[in-house]
C-alpha cells in the first residue's frame, strides 16, 4: 500500500492517518502536526478505487457498505500496520488513529476486530451502519468523535449509533459537533485539547 512515514521522535506515539474518499496519504498530515508536532506519522493511501477516487473499502452506494470487502480490507490494513510497526520499530499500543469519513470507518472496523490493540482514536465524520452484536471490551480505549449536524451523508441517528458503539463497550468517549460533513479548524483544536490533556 502507498504510504509515508515521518519519524519525529523515537518512541513517541504514531499517528496512523486514514483519509476520506478521494484523499491520499498526505491529506491529514497538517492535522497530525497540529494535534501534536512530536508524534510520528504513518499516512496510508486506500487501495480501492471508486470512480478514480481512493477509498479503503468498496460500497454499493452512499452509506451502503460492501461488508465482505470491509472485513477483507480491514484485515489487510491491520496486517499492513503490523508490518510497518516492525519495519519502523513502533508498538501497536502507541498508535493513534486519525481518520476522516471513509478513513474513520475502516478505523472502527479494525478496532472492533482487534479489541484492545488500538487504544486511541480521533475520528471525524464516522459512519458504521450496522448493529454490532459482539460486545468487545474497549475499557482503556479513548476515542474523540467529531460528528455532523445536518450532515448530508451521516444522519444524526447514525452518529448516535457510533457514540453508542464505543460507550456500550466501555470506551472513554469525547464528542464534538460540527455543521455538515466537515473537519473544521475549531474541531481540530478540540481534538488537540483532548489528545494533550
Distance between terminal CA atoms of the chain? 33
Grid coordinates representing 46 are 486506500
**DSSP character string of 147-174:** EEET-SSS-HHHHHHHHHHHHTTT-EEE
| Domain regions of the chain by residue span | 26-184
| Residues forming beta bridges with residue 176, ordered by sequence position | 146
Name the residues annotated as catalytic.
101, 151, 181
Q: What pTM value is reported for the model? A: 0.98
**What whole-number distance in Å separates Cα of residue 33 and Cα of residue 162?**
26
**What whole-number distance in Å separates Cα of residue 150 and Cα of residue 62?**
16
The count of other CB atoms within 10 Å of the CB of residue 42 is 23
Grid coordinates representing 187 are 474541531
Write out the chain's pLDDT in tens, 197 residues: 999 999 999 999 999 999 999 999 999 999 999 999 999 999 999 999 999 999 999 999 989 999 999 999 999 999 999 999 999 999 999 999 999 999 999 999 999 999 999 999 999 999 999 999 999 999 999 999 999 999 999 999 999 999 999 999 999 999 999 999 999 999 999 999 999 99
**What whole-number distance in Å separates Cα of residue 126 and Cα of residue 69?**
18
**What whole-number distance in Å separates Cα of residue 156 and Cα of residue 153?**
10
Q: What is the pLDDT of residue 122?
A: 98
Residue entry with cell 471490551: 137
What is the third-level CATH fold of 26-184?
Rossmann fold (3.40.50)
| Residues forming beta bridges with residue 49, ordered by sequence position | 54
The answer to whether the CB of 85 falls within 8 A of the CB of 117 is: no
Q: What is the pLDDT of residue 156?
A: 97
By C-alpha distance, which of 178, 7, 180, 24 is closest to 84? Answer: 7
Q: What is the pLDDT of residue 15?
A: 98
Amino acid at each position: 500500500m502507498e504510504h509515508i512515514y515521518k519519524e519525529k521522535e523515537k518512541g513517541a506515539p504514531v499517528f496512523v492517518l486514514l483519509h476520506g474518499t478521494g484523499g491520499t496519504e498526505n491529506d491529514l498530515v497538517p492535522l497530525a502536526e497540529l494535534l501534536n508536532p512530536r508524534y510520528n506519522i504513518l499516512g496510508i493511501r486506500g487501495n480501492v478505487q471508486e470512480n478514480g477516487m481512493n477509498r479503503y473499502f468498496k460500497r454499493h452506494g452512499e452509506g451502503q457498505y460492501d461488508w465482505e470487502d470491509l472485513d477483507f480490507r480491514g484485515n489487510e490494513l491491520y496486517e499492513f500496520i503490523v508490518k510497518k510497526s516492525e519495519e519502523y520499530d513502533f508498538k501497536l499500543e502507541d498508535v493513534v488513529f486519525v481518520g476522516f469519513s471513509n478513513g474513520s470507518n475502516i478505523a472502527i472496523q479494525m478496532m472492533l476486530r482487534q479489541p484492545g490493540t488500538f487504544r486511541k482514536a480521533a475520528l471525524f465524520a464516522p459512519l458504521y451502519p450496522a448493529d454490532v452484536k459482539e460486545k468487545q471490551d474497549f475499557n482503556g480505549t479513548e476515542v474523540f468523535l467529531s460528528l455532523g449536524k445536518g450532515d448530508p451523508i451521516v444522519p444524526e441517528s447514525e452518529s448516535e449509533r457510533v457514540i453508542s458503539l464505543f460507550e456500550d463497550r466501555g470506551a472513554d468517549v469525547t464528542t464534538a459537533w460540527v455543521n455538515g460533513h466537515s473537519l473544521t479548524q475549531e474541531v481540530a483544536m478540540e481534538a488537540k485539547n483532548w489528545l494533550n490533556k
